Amino acid sequence: MPELPEVETVRRGLQPAMEGARIVRAETRRADLRFPFQDDFVARLEGQTVAGLGRRAKYLMADLSSGDVLLMHLGMSGSFRVVTVDGHVTPGEFHYPRNEDRAHDHVVFHMSSGAAVVFNDPRRFGYMKIIARSLLDEEPLLKGLGPEPLGNAFDAAMLAAATAGKATSLKAALLDQRVVAGLGNIYVCEALFRSHLSPKRKASTLADKKRAPTDHAKRLVASIHDVLNQAIEAGGSSLRDHRQTSGELGYFQHSFQVYDREGEKCQTRGCGGTVKRFVQNGRSTFWCPTCQK
């Protein structure tokens, strides 16, 4: 499911239930998600207060009073919901991603705020890991990550330097979390469309001979900023699994201009082209060959 806007939406939804509250009880309802839970997973959570809930790329990070950090990744189909202790969902009734039972509720945090925070993940590509804050810099899951696309470190100069000399395609480079961390298939397709750049273009064309950013790089960075900010504002995109923590859908999918729109007319003014789909690095790319060069 989730790319940066979806994870950020989840973070904002969990904040009121978790920040400043203590984890009274933690339940793991099976032995593993993508990986087995650490042996001391529950023990390191129970009794700890969540000082803050942050995000790095597509990871949620809960700062615990013990000095540990709980790292959470939603994989493809993970979602969180916030439920009050009497079984009623806050604020509205939760609608499961699929109209099924709770078979895929794998982790529950019972908070002193009175809320239960439930992690549901049918495909179980998601995972959780507890890391001592002092070891965060050496954590393999985080170590190679590039800059946050909405952070100060991400700009045209940085992007040009990171892609200079790369033989790979522009699309593959943007999906590479070492280049920039948080984009996925949807928002890469959308950002490339908005900047009129072909997904097939060589990534190295974002830089000139002196490794300085071209106008393409500047356009692309602006498009990435725009599409991510707009998607966050819309509560993310709900195609199959993504839900806000209230169970509500995100609605940015209605604003897609190319993703999942094969065969539709290109929305670029005066273009007249048609949205096409092809497989690139094993993933669907949606684009307009007429106006993306």
Question: Who's near 70: CB < 8 A, 6+ residues apart?
Answer: 45, 61, 62, 64, 128, 129, 130
Q: Which stretch binds DNA (CB under 7 A): 80-88, 110-118, 150-158, 275-283?
A: 275-283
* Residues near DNA (CB under 7 A), total: 42
Q: How far is the CB of 40 from DNA (least distance, A)?
A: 22
Burial zone of 187 (CB within 10 Å; 0-12 exposed, 13-18 middle, 19+ buried): buried
Q: Could you say which DSSP state residue 182 is in?
A: S
SS3 state at 171: helix
264 is catalytic: no
* Bridge partner residues of 69 (DSSP): 63, 131
Supply φ then ψ for residue 219, to 5 degrees: -65, -40
Q: Which of 130, 186, 197, 288 binds DNA (CB under 7 A)?
A: 186
Q: Which of 133, 240, 254, 265 binds DNA (CB under 7 A)?
A: 240
Q: Which stretch binds DNA (CB under 7 A): 37-45, 64-72, 263-271, 274-282?
A: 274-282
- Mask 26-65, x = binds DNA (CB under 7 A)? --------x----------------------xx-------
Q: How far is the CB of 70 from DNA (least distance, A)?
A: 17
Which CB sits closer to DNA, 75 or 247?
75
97 is catalytic: no
Distance (Å, rounded) from C-alpha 9 to C-alpha 233?
A: 9
| 147 contacts DNA (rule: CB under 7 A) | no
Q: Which stretch binds DNA (CB under 7 A): 21-29, 47-55, 216-224, 276-284?
A: 276-284
Distance (Å, rounded) from C-alpha 56 to C-alpha 239?
A: 23
Side-chain-facing half-sphere of 271: CA atoms under 13 Å: 19
- Mask 6-25, x = binds DNA (CB under 7 A)? x-------------------
283 is catalytic: yes
- Mask 102-141, x = binds DNA (CB under 7 A)? -xx-----------------xxxx---------------x
Distance (Å, rounded) from C-alpha 278 to C-alpha 126?
A: 27
Residue of 29, 133, 283, 293 with catalytic role: 283
Taking the alpha carbons at both ends of the chain, their separation in whole angstroms is 28
Which CB sits closer to DNA, 113 or 184?
184
SS3 state at 276: strand
The residue with tokens 């790292």 is 71
The residue with tokens 């950002």 is 191
CA 80, distance to chain mean position in Å, is 13
Residue of 58, 81, 166, 171 with catalytic role: 58
58 is catalytic: yes
Q: Which stretch binds DNA (CB under 7 A): 17-25, 94-102, 154-162, 266-274?
A: 94-102
Q: Which residues are catalytic?
A: 2-3, 58, 283
